[in-house]
Structure 1
Amino acid sequence: MPLAKMDSIFKYANFFYSVVGIEPYTKTSRSSVASHSISPVFLGNIITLSVNMFGEMGFVLVAFATGEHILEAIMDLSYIGFVFVGIIKIMSIWQKKPALSHIIWELEKLFPCDKAAQSAYNLDKYLNSCLRISFIFSILYTVLTWTYNLFDITEYCVYDLWLGIREVPHRLPYPVYIPWHWQEHWSYYVMLIYQDFAACVAAAGQVATDLLICALTTLIVMHFDYLARTIEKQVLSGDWSKDSRVLLDVVQYHERLLLLSNQLNEVFGVPLLMNLLISSAFSISVAAYNQNWNYADVRYRRSLILIIARSQNPVYLKATVLMTITRATMTELLQLSYKFFALLRTMYAG
């Protein structure tokens, strides 16, 4: 079985970032300096999203000013938020590319490179788990986006062109302000393709950032778990000079992981507590306590207490979700999604 490369855990995130037109980080093998270069694809995507968002905002303003199409305007607010969050996530990663590249470089230094080390780290377990979650999440998000994008044109093809039982008016997936009569004009098809492409870019930006957070979290959790197993299985000699060197390696490794967690917090905005990362960091203190330290030097025991105390502080990552994710907020999100679904059904039923 070939050796796993660290890039393989980022392959889904990198794919969606390629759709957006940015490179989230620079590899050490290619360059020692990460740049803020702007590709034509990235610039075109940002312009596309911005124009579509301002068109939606114009529709909302006109609707509330005239008192017409209020229901569509309220729905449009959620679309504006969707595009806005997509732009924020894309621009955040592009702006913080040097910091993110530095984190990737540090993780590359810690990544197990030979077969024995990868087996000791249980790399296959973490890699397969992350890739499986990333693939399922990507498929669900993509199907959701394109199902909504193609709903109107599919309805038109089925009822008008195929069955011929009713006339379906030309509608855009996302209402925007257009200063001309576009329903029976060739520009309708241009706007339809334009909006579908903009929605695809916004979804890709959001999915890519979420997958990147998942991959980085998985790698750090893997290192925390490996460190915990190393501490717990360490056989002490009772000689302070020998045991202190082992303890020094453990402390240095632990500090590097904590530093990486803090650097990730600077890259990804508002708090998002990650239960796996918290439990993995806390397992360091449990492993230190379970270590066979009965015959260790008293200085080693005192140092072990400091490690246990530091490991009990929660380690968490932050993300650009703009709110702290808890069970209560997830319940509110599901309720809001159901209300939105009921609103759509009411609209199309009428």
Structure 2
Amino acid sequence: MSAKGKETAKQEIHKTLNLCNFCTRKIGISFIDEYETAVIWKLWIQLWFIGSAIVLFLKLSGQVNYVVNKLVTSSSIEDFVASLHIVGYDTMSFGKLLTIWWMRNVFRKLLTELEDLWPISDQDKDATDIKNEKLSRLRIIQFWYAFWNIFGVWLYNLTPIVIYVYHKIQGAPAHLGYIWHLSYPFDKTLPVYHELAFVFECYAGTVSVWSMLGSDIFFMNMASHISMLLRLLQLKIRRLATEDTKSKIKSVDCYDDIVGVIEIHQRLITYGKDLEDAFSVVFLINVLLSSVNICCVVFNILLDPWMAMSNKFFLGAALTQVGILCWYADDIFTSSSGVANAVYESGWYNSNIRCQRALMILMQRSQKPLYFTAYKFRSITMSTYSSILTSSYSYFTLLYTMYRSD
């Protein structure tokens, strides 16, 4: 690819990452920005990230301490479960924050490699339609996913204020509560400490959402791009040995084209495996915690009418979050499986023996599809999403039965 073509590809790829970059900047990370070389600027970026990580760690630690204390000192199920789903969400957010920081150089390298594979020509209408469809769908899903999460966290942040104002209007005793269930090393009910705790919880909740969105939207982008490239590869394969069918040629030599297709296929497989290695731990955390999060928030919706609206948005965000990850992982699985079908649908019967043997090798390799795993324990597809929902319902029925029996 020419230097001009690479620059065009780079601009188009970065444009798809604008929302991801907006979120990651809030926690001091960027995969596409060219940072200044000044030492002060580098130090400021590092301090910003360290501050975000510390805030999220303190929030998570306070929640875990609160839950453990309730488990030890209270026999009430509702007290123990009240903030368990938030603990799960923050655990995932903290894990994703560390992942995107630890893998930041790997992600930058993947984006650079993607420039060589990116389609920039608009001469092929079918290929352009596939590209435009994928990018359009990605933009819509990104926007609504980010909106849902951001709106949800601000519902949590504003709920104590709304309750306080409502009680004031009604003439009832009013007290500004807290957003999350956290344990502090000081008496948070004292003046000044109360306000500081409330501001900390507002900011920490927002950092948690930025971390979640930054990681998830980056994965959505990369998975969508890999799926698009696999579909474009299928289009190329279907056209092999078909251009000369009208001239009755029965021994078309398209070996060089087949070699080119195989090279692209191998690069996409390697590319997908690198992305899978980067996100496998994140997937494991998602699979382990999503069922518990969904179960606990449904239980809280039934018990706490004041927080029901916020919890409903959390439920929607939890279902959407794990659903989108499973859907994009399944999309890659389906697209890579379709390569074998594309070989069969090509004009292989018009090609010579040498080409047919090469196509046979390509078909055999593509029958082992590309897929993502939860740290190699299980593959991530839409069936994984179904099993998570089934597990959530089982946990909820058990929890609700225990609650009713008390």
Q: TM-score, normalised by structure 2?
A: 0.73
**Contact 1:159–1:167 under 8 Å retained in 2:** yes
| 4+ runs deviating over 6 angstroms | 238-241, 334-340
Q: Distance in 2 between matches of 1:21 and 1:118?
A: 40
Q: CA deviation at 1:339?
A: 9.8
Structure 1 residues 10 and 330: CA distance shift in structure 2, 3 A: farther
Q: Which residue of 1 aligns with 2:62?
A: 55
Q: Which residue of 1 aligns with 2:145?
A: 137
- Pair 1:127-2:135 in alignment: yes
Q: Which residue of 1 aligns with 2:12?
A: 5
Q: CA deviation at 1:146?
A: 1.5
Q: Distance in 1 between matches of 2:393 and 2:24?
A: 28
Q: Distance in 2 between matches of 1:261 and 1:213?
A: 11
SS in 2 for 1:7: helix
Q: Distance in 1 between matches of 2:124 and 2:236?
A: 12
- Pair 1:170-2:176 in alignment: yes
In the TM superposition, what whole-angstrom CA distance separates every residue of 1:235-255 from its partner, at most 9, and x where no partner exists?
356698941111111111111
- Pair 1:245-2:252 in alignment: no
The correspondence of residues 213-292 of structure 1 with structure 2, limited to 5 A, is 213-235=219-241, 242-270=253-281, 274-292=329-347
Q: CA deviation at 1:61?
A: 3.6
In the TM superposition, what whole-angstrom CA distance separates every residue of 1:23-43 from its partner, at most 9, and x where no partner exists?
13567x999xxxx98522211
- Pair 1:147-2:155 in alignment: yes
In the TM superposition, what whole-angstrom CA distance separates every residue of 1:84-120 from its partner, at most 9, and x where no partner exists?
2211101111111122111111111111234436973
Amino acid in structure 2 at the alignment position of 1:311: S
SS in 1 for 2:150: helix
Structure 1 residues 184 and 225: CA distance shift in structure 2, 3 A: same
Q: Distance in 2 between matches of 1:163 and 1:257?
A: 63
Q: Which residue of 2 aligns with 1:328?
A: 387
Q: CA deviation at 1:234?
A: 2.5
Selected match of 1:317 from 349, 372, 383: 372
Q: Distance in 2 between matches of 1:207 and 1:17?
A: 8
Larger displacement relative to structure 2 (239-248 or 168-177): 239-248
Q: Distance in 2 between matches of 1:71 and 1:334?
A: 17
Structure 1 residues 292 and 115: CA distance shift in structure 2, 3 A: closer
Structure 1 residues 62 and 331: CA distance shift in structure 2, 3 A: closer
The correspondence of residues 1-80 of structure 1 with structure 2, limited to 5 A, is 5-24=12-31, 39-67=46-74, 71-80=78-87
Q: Distance in 2 between matches of 1:115 and 1:290?
A: 24
**Contact 1:26–1:101 under 8 Å retained in 2:** no
**Contact 1:24–1:100 under 8 Å retained in 2:** yes
For structure 2, which runs of at least 5 residues remain unmatched after alignment?
1-7, 284-324
Structure 1 residues 17 and 333: CA distance shift in structure 2, 3 A: farther
Q: Which residue of 1 aligns with 2:350?
A: 295
Selected match of 1:83 from 79, 84, 90: 90
Amino acid in structure 1 at the alignment position of 2:230: F
Amino acid in structure 2 at the alignment position of 1:196: C
In the TM superposition, what whole-angstrom CA distance separates every residue of 1:253-293 from its partner, at most 9, and x where no partner exists?
11111110111111111567622112211221111111122
- Pair 1:96-2:129 in alignment: no
**Contact 1:13–1:207 under 8 Å retained in 2:** yes
Q: CA RMSD in A?
A: 3.3
In the TM superposition, what whole-angstrom CA distance separates every residue of 1:198-233 from its partner, at most 9, and x where no partner exists?
011111111221111111111111111111111112
**Contact 1:221–1:276 under 8 Å retained in 2:** yes
Q: Distance in 1 between matches of 2:161 and 2:82?
A: 19
Q: Distance in 1 between matches of 2:398 and 2:128?
A: 45
Amino acid in structure 1 at the alignment position of 2:269: L
**Contact 1:59–1:175 under 8 Å retained in 2:** yes
Identical residues among aligned pairs (%): 19
